[in-house]
A and B are shown apart, each in its own frame.
Chain A
Amino acid sequence: MTEMTLLQAVNDALRTEMGRDDRVLVFGEDVGFNGGVFRATEGLQKEFGEERCFDTPLSECGIIGTAIGMALYGLRPVPEIQFMDFIYPAFDQIVSEAAKMRYRSGGEYTCPMVIRTPCGGGIRGGHYHSQSAEAYFCHTPGLKVVYPSTPSDVKGLLISSIRDEDPVIFLEPKRIYRSMKGEVPEGEYTVPLGKGRTVREGRDCTIVAWGAMVDVCEKAAVELATKGKEVEIIDPRTLVPLDESLILDSVRKTGRLVVVSEAPRTGGFAGEIAAIVAEKAIGSLEGPIIRVTGFDVPFPYTLEGVYMPDPRRVVRGVEDSFNW
């Protein structure tokens, strides 16, 4: 075990896999020589050479299109998109190509690749350095969507993603890139895709959250405990595939559900979780399912602090699931 930040865990996972498997290539804008604008790929070019870790021209479409080609030819590309907000020039390659390759070719061709990208708000990045756009990708059959919340999960899930046979969108909550530290196992540590984690046990209400929102919910849980409410926090870790049974079992126990997501409300993945619980566990519910989310507005700059769900809003959400 070593104490690491989330960023160091990304770096450690990439280094581990590059060392183990020479099919793993890491590339993107400013990823090589400078080690990425957040330093997630620091030192990889030095250690593994320019052939395995390199800078690309400024074209997300080019980065992802070529990654798909590499995957088709047997490599394991791990391209980086500098900010999730800049993934859209590559949207077509991701949703029309990578996501559908296996299906449309009857399984002849596949795209095992991991698209890493920092996402989410909380760094005063305004519209274009803050979005949490997981919903677009969860809505696309053929893509797996991973959204970790701790350094050890980052490492274990990133290694599993690289070893996975399908394309993975790997979302890194940049707000806690450096601020969150935790013990991370050394070497080839893996966390399976599709298995959620119970962050905190409690009997009164289930909270489901992912990415940087898990930390926010943990703070809210402490406050709720002082008010006599013990909440159970579930971090699904991967949104696709989703660990439904973990969520359903928890709701069956607590009888209540609050879903917390920093993304805009309408069409967000929080709604998907609410729907699953409403369909499969309505008999266990003792109160309304509550969503605590970002608002249906472009991510604001000055008012980011009131845009993002915070512990106060989570506490209110839990209270609302009781008082109705």
Chain B
Amino acid sequence: MSTAKKKTGTKTLKGAKSGHDGRQLFSILEEGGHVAKGKDPKIPKDELIRLYRAMITTRIMEERALNLQRQGRIGFYVPCKGQEASHIGTAYALKDSDWVFPAYRQPGIMILRGAPMQQIVDEWYGNEGDICKGRQMPVHYSFRQIHFVSISSPIGTQMTQAVGAGMAAKYRKEDTVFMTYCGDGGTSENDFHCSLNFGGVYKAPVVFVVENNQWAISTPLETQTASETLASKAEAYGIPGVRVDGNDILAIYQVTKEAVDRARRGGGPTLIETLTYRVGPHSSSDDPSRYRDDAEVQSWMDKDPIERLKAYLKKKRWWSQEMEDEIRETARSEINAAIRNAEEKKPPSISSMFEDVYLEKTTQLVEQEDYLKSFGDNEANQIGEFPL
């Protein structure tokens, strides 16, 4: 933000270099968990198992969430199935003190960063235990305790905000790094372009992650852009763009670590495109069989990121059936307990609806609250189905 000094009109655009080409797909994990010599990022065993656990826990949590939605016990859900490595692997490259500005399809980051399962589940129910006080639809979490900024539905808005937070950290001479996410569809919104532009101009300590799952609801990638790759869009903004196999957690970690380190060093932002696939529906209200081939889905199921990491763990002899069972059992019991608790909780109070609009209620809000309460005890109505 040193715009005080006069600048000359001409300058050579010299963005930082990443050593990666935004048109090439970078990957590490090969068939059968094999890794070519010299390419292994050498993540320690415990850490890898932590990642494996986060991915499985996310997967199991989502299966339960979709079931609850089908049974009418929660109103809505947005699954990330198939994209677990893409967001867990990128977020893993951050320090705990770094911030995340998520879109709505990165639940694994909350798991990785240790958000309490109870609070995740309470958000689905929008009950009195929900941090967001039942105000937002399911999956629109906010977790300040893990630097996971409040999610909104409008696509792309978080990206410019991440750049601003990065500018603020730079101004305060703090070395926090900011990671922000969007989908392939999100790259068409104004905010995407603004954020890369501002990020490049101010060299903000930001990593932009585009989870290219190749679909934006029913709209395929080829309708979204005429660019060969999404990572190559970085070039126009003078920042490095990297394209990585989004189902290969080793490769993801490797490229993201470089990007995070560069951002922390003052080298500015990086755009990372993780090439992956939305194996499930867009949301609990979507029926993807209307617009895409089952064969395409199946071919991506075969590249499942959890299975790929498992093959690597096996190769290293770090996997065992007992470990697998323990991870799954722990996840299941944790989620089931959280659901049981959530279902016993009440809806948020009527007063809570009038809070947090401002720090203090206006006289109008006080009057409106009194008016609503004059109707007596209002039970919130039944959880209905969200049609989209």
**Which A positions have Cβ atoms within 8 angstroms of B?**
29-30, 33-34, 37-38, 55-59, 61-62, 85-86, 88-89, 123-129, 174, 177-178, 265-266, 295-298, 300-307, 312-313, 316
Contacts of B191 in A (CB 8 A): 89
Contacts of A297 in B (CB 8 A): 353-354, 357, 365
Cα distance A312–B374 when bound, in Å? Answer: 12
Contact B350 A303 (CB under 8 A): yes
Q: How far is the CB of B93 from chain A (nearest CB, A)?
A: 27
Of A37, A295, A303, A305, which one neighbours B217 at CB under 8 angstroms? A37
Q: How far is the CB of A30 from chain B (nearest CB, A)?
A: 5
Of B137, B190, B290, B388, which one neighbours A59 at CB under 8 angstroms? B190
Q: How far is the CB of A117 from chain B (nearest CB, A)?
A: 13
What is the number of residues of chain B that contact chain A, defined by CB distance less than 8 Å?
A: 50
In chain A, what residue has the closest Cβ to B355? A297
Contacts of A126 in B (CB 8 A): 135-137, 140, 153
Contact A56 B365 (CB under 8 A): no
Cα distance A33–B223 when bound, in Å? Answer: 11
Contact B75 A124 (CB under 8 A): yes
Contacts of B218 in A (CB 8 A): 30, 33-34, 55
Q: How far is the CB of A312 from chain B (nearest CB, A)?
A: 6
Interface: B372 (CB within 8 A): yes
Contacts of B352 in A (CB 8 A): 303
Cα distance A34–B191 when bound, in Å? Answer: 26
Cα distance A241–B145 when bound, in Å? Answer: 50
Given A128-B154, A300-B353, check contact A312 B375 (CB 8 Å): yes
List of 7 A-B pairs having minimum Cβ-Cβ separation, nearest first:
A305-B381, A302-B134, A128-B153, A34-B218, A126-B137, A57-B188, A58-B185
Contacts of B388 in A (CB 8 A): 37-38, 125, 129
Interface: B8 (CB within 8 A): no
Further 15 A-B residue pairs, CB within 8 A, beyond A34-B290, A89-B154, A295-B353:
A29-B216, A30-B218, A37-B388, A58-B185, A126-B136, A127-B152, A129-B388, A178-B387, A265-B368, A295-B368, A296-B365, A301-B135, A302-B126, A302-B380, A306-B378
When each residue 213-229 of chain B gets 1 if its CB lies under 8 Å from chain A and 0 otherwise, what string results? 00011110001110000
Interface: B323 (CB within 8 A): no
Of B127, B291, B362, which one neighbours A296 at CB under 8 angstroms? B362
Contact B135 A298 (CB under 8 A): yes
Contacts of B384 in A (CB 8 A): 123-124
Given A30-B218, A128-B154, A306-B380, check contact A266 B364 (CB 8 Å): yes
Interface: B189 (CB within 8 A): yes
24 cross-chain CB contacts under 8 A: A29-B219, A30-B219, A55-B218, A55-B223, A56-B219, A57-B223, A57-B224, A58-B216, A58-B219, A61-B189, A85-B153, A89-B190, A124-B385, A124-B386, A129-B388, A295-B354, A295-B365, A297-B357, A298-B135, A300-B134, A306-B350, A306-B372, A306-B381, A316-B375
Q: How far is the CB of B225 from chain A (nearest CB, A)?
A: 7
Interface: B155 (CB within 8 A): yes
Contact A301 B134 (CB under 8 A): yes
Q: How far is the CB of B63 from chain A (nearest CB, A)?
A: 22
Contact A123 B186 (CB under 8 A): no
Given A59-B190, A125-B386, check contact A298 B357 (CB 8 Å): yes
Interface: B33 (CB within 8 A): no
Contact A29 B217 (CB under 8 A): yes
Cα distance A298–B352 when bound, in Å? Answer: 12
Cα distance A304–B353 when bound, in Å? Answer: 10
Contact B135 A127 (CB under 8 A): yes
In chain A, what residue has the closest Cβ to B387? A123
Given A29-B217, A126-B140, check contact A302 B347 (CB 8 Å): yes
Contacts of A174 in B (CB 8 A): 387
Contacts of A296 in B (CB 8 A): 357, 362, 364-365, 368
Contact B223 A56 (CB under 8 A): yes
Cα distance A58–B182 when bound, in Å? Answer: 12
Q: How far is the CB of A14 from chain B (nearest CB, A)?
A: 18
Contact B291 A34 (CB under 8 A): yes
Contacts of B357 in A (CB 8 A): 296-298
Cα distance A303–B364 when bound, in Å? Answer: 19
Contact B135 A86 (CB under 8 A): no
In chain B, what residue has the closest Cβ to A177? B387
Contacts of A125 in B (CB 8 A): 137, 386, 388
Contacts of A61 in B (CB 8 A): 189-190
Contact A124 B348 (CB under 8 A): no
In chain A, what residue has the closest Cβ to B130? A302
Q: How far is the CB of A68 from chain B (nearest CB, A)?
A: 16
